[in-house]
Amino acid sequence: MIKLLGLYILAAILVILIDRKVMRDIPGINRWMAYILLAGGFGIWAYCLQFGHVVYGSVLAGHYLDKFVPF
């Protein structure tokens, strides 16, 4: 689990490093959106990897959408 989280953090660092020069010049909303997406991604990934019960998106959505499927 720690390895996979570590891989995500490495990928996130690479994402920031790729655009570090551009990030200084562009409007701040880009930086904030990037940081929010990366932090949110870390939270989702940590939730998926935890040992407790995980509620997956398709299972949750399928529970509510199933009644609208005609078969």
Partner 1 sequence: MNKVTNRQFRMLGITYILNTTLIHVPSELANYAKQHAYLSFFPAGLVVALMFLLLSKSAKRFPGKDLFQSLNGRHKVLGRVITFLYLIFFFIILARDIRMVADFTNVVLLPLTPIFIISIAITATVIFIARGGVQTVMGIADLYGPMMTTVVLIIPFIVAKDFDFSYIKPYFYVDWAGVGKGSWVVFSYLGQILALPFIFSSKDYRIRDGMYALLLSTGLLLLIVIMISLLVGIPIAESLMYPSYEMSRQIKITDFLDRFDMPLVGLWFPAVLLNIATSLFIICYGLKTMIPQISGKMMTSPIGLFAVVTAFWIYPNSVEVFRFDREWTVVALVFVIVLPIFIFLFHRPHRKPRMQEPREDAT
Least distance from partner 1 to the Cβ atom of residue 44, Å:
5
User: What's the rounded Cα separation, in Å, for the pair 40 and 60?
Assistant: 19
Instruction: Find all residues with CB under 8 Å of 30, minimum gap 6, and list them.
Output: 23
Least distance from partner 1 to the Cβ atom of residue 52, Å:
14
CB-based burial label for 42 (10 Å; 0-12, 13-18, 19+): middle
Residue at 32: amino acid letter: W
State which of positions 8-67 bind partner 1 (CB under 8 A). Answer: 8, 11-12, 15, 18-19, 22-23, 26-27, 29-30, 33-34, 37-38, 40-42, 44-45, 47-48, 54, 56-59, 61-62, 65-66
Q: Is 1 in the site for partner 1 (CB under 8 A)?
A: no
Least distance from partner 1 to the Cβ atom of residue 40, Å:
7
